[in-house]
Structure 1
Amino acid sequence: MLTQNSSSVTPVARLLEGSRVYLRPINVEDTELYYNTLFHQEVRRLTGTQRSFTKEQIARYIEGEGQDSSSLLLLIALQEDDRVIGDIALQDMDSLNRSANIRIAINEQGNQGKGYGTEALVLMLGYGFGVCNLHRIELNVFDFNERAIRCYEKVGFKREGVQRDALYYNHQYHDSILMSMLQHEYRDRYVKQAES
């Protein structure tokens, strides 16, 4: 599939493809988009983001100065029109313990609750367990983000515990719920199902 940019038609690099979304690498042309996402009020609240960044800091991060081989940041785009609706990342990949952390953000409320995040998560989990050979992938979700908790449980994440008062945001403390999925749980749920 091709997408139109300001000067010419260029192919869209797709790392992982689903039926409704695909995951693609972030590049320096995405600086403005990613910068605006980091200042989207509801995304900041749901992710507990408190720091601020300049466009120059974002551009340097995208160009690789802030990234390392233990992280993979991808943008979530719609198959139908190549519109970017969020981002997803595997972070803190530990090859010795075969573990990582995953995070996801769907930017606009109009794109939430439609299954896009679920599909993106399943794609990234498949990459983490299959290509990166991870054994455990974990995440943290704040207690007020009930939609995300339901999504993670639907995908197959299990609750492990609660970090009490882990986030101080907008003059209030919030608990962080730790959830994880193991490689065999992913395989039993998605790989064996696809094989049958």
Structure 2
Amino acid sequence: MADKGYQPEMFGEGIWLRPLEPRDALAIAQSTEIVEDSAQPVPNVPTSETAYRNWVAAQDESSLVWVVCRTDEQEAIGTASIRNIEMGTRTAETGMGLFYPEDRGKGIGQEVKALVLDFAFEVMGLHCVRCTIDARNTRSRRSVEKSGYVLAGSYTADIPVGLGEYADTLVYQLLASDWRAAKLG
């Protein structure tokens, strides 16, 4: 089992994941204006390059964040993460997002998820991963279900989406044994 702080570059079909670096702050800050259907709007998300640089610097060993790039480029087209890592219970939360609408629906997200899940289960030795999704985001829901996640529960009206308005969060989970069985099947 790898130390939770170990974070390699990972390569897939036409994409590569590299560890998040301070130089990625501007692209990520600009992406907050591009992404219209994020998996889950998070309150207090940094919105400037400086705020993102501070966020990058503040990442600790309970989070691994990668930048998604096309194999022939350095430019960030998305991010992927394993966060809230609890090695005692061998659980964590996963997340990913692509910044540009033209990159969606091409299998990039599935490839990214496969790399992250292989790392989580086969390298880190995790038993279970979870992800949370804004219940209104049907694209993300279909995507995680396609990756093998199953709906485990929900939170009612817990995401602030406007002045006095809230949306529900869906909680999905995937067990290592189910991931391995799906890969063999």
TM surpasses 0.5 = yes
Which TM-score tier does this pair reach, normalised by the shorter chain? 0.7 to 0.9
Residues 42 and 159 in structure 2, CA contact (< 8 A), matched pair in contact too: no
Residues 24 and 76 in structure 1, CA contact (< 8 A), matched pair in contact too: yes
Structure 1 distance, partners of 2:45, 2:62, is: 23
Structure 2 distance, partners of 1:160, 1:31, is: 33
2:175 aligned with 1:189: no
Structure 1 distance, partners of 2:74, 2:51, is: 26
1:32, distance to aligned residue in structure 2 (A):
1.2
**Quick one: which amino acid aligns to residue 49 of structure 1?**
V
Residues 99 and 137 in structure 1, CA contact (< 8 A), matched pair in contact too: yes
2:11 aligned with 1:17: yes
**Quick one: which amino acid aligns to residue 176 of structure 1?**
T
Residues 47 and 105 in structure 1, CA contact (< 8 A), matched pair in contact too: no
Structure 2 distance, partners of 1:41, 1:79, is: 22
Normalised to the residue count of structure 2, the TM-score between the two structures is 0.87
Aligned to 2:53: 59
Question: What per-residue deviation string (whole Å, max 9, x for no partner) do you get for residues 102-128 of structure 1?
Answer: 111111111111111111011000001
Aligned to 1:89: 81
Question: How many pairs are equivalent?
Answer: 177
Q: Find the partner of 2:166 among 162, 173, 179.
A: 173
Query: What secondary structure does 1:188 align onto?
Result: helix
Normalised to the residue count of structure 1, the TM-score between the two structures is 0.83
Q: Which has the greater radius of gyration?
A: 1
Identity among equivalent positions (%) equals 21
Residues 68 and 78 in structure 2, CA contact (< 8 A), matched pair in contact too: yes
Please, what is the CA RMSD of the aligned residues? Answer: 1.9
- Larger RCO (alpha carbons 8 Å, 6+ apart): 2
1:93, distance to aligned residue in structure 2 (A):
0.4
Aligned to 2:133: 141
Query: What secondary structure does 1:47 align onto?
Result: coil
1:170, distance to aligned residue in structure 2 (A):
2.4
2:90 aligned with 1:98: yes
Deviating beyond 4 angstroms after TM superposition, the runs of 4 or more aligned structure 1 residues are none
Structure 2 distance, partners of 1:180, 1:15, is: 25
Long gaps (5+) in structure 2? 1-7
2:115 aligned with 1:123: yes
Query: What secondary structure does 1:19 align onto?
Result: coil
Structure 2 distance, partners of 1:85, 1:57, is: 19
Q: Find the partner of 2:66 among 74, 82, 88.
A: 74
**Quick one: which amino acid aligns to residue 22 of structure 2?**
V
1:158, distance to aligned residue in structure 2 (A):
0.5
Question: What per-residue deviation string (whole Å, max 9, x for no partner) do you get for residues 72-107 of structure 1?
Answer: 000111124444210011001001100000111111
Question: What per-residue deviation string (whole Å, max 9, x for no partner) do you get for residues 108-156 of structure 1?
Answer: 1111111111110110000011111100000011111101101111110
**Quick one: which amino acid aligns to residue 53 of structure 2?**
A
Aligned to 1:36: 30
Stretch deviating more after TM superposition (129-138 or 29-38):
29-38
Residues 135 and 168 in structure 2, CA contact (< 8 A), matched pair in contact too: yes
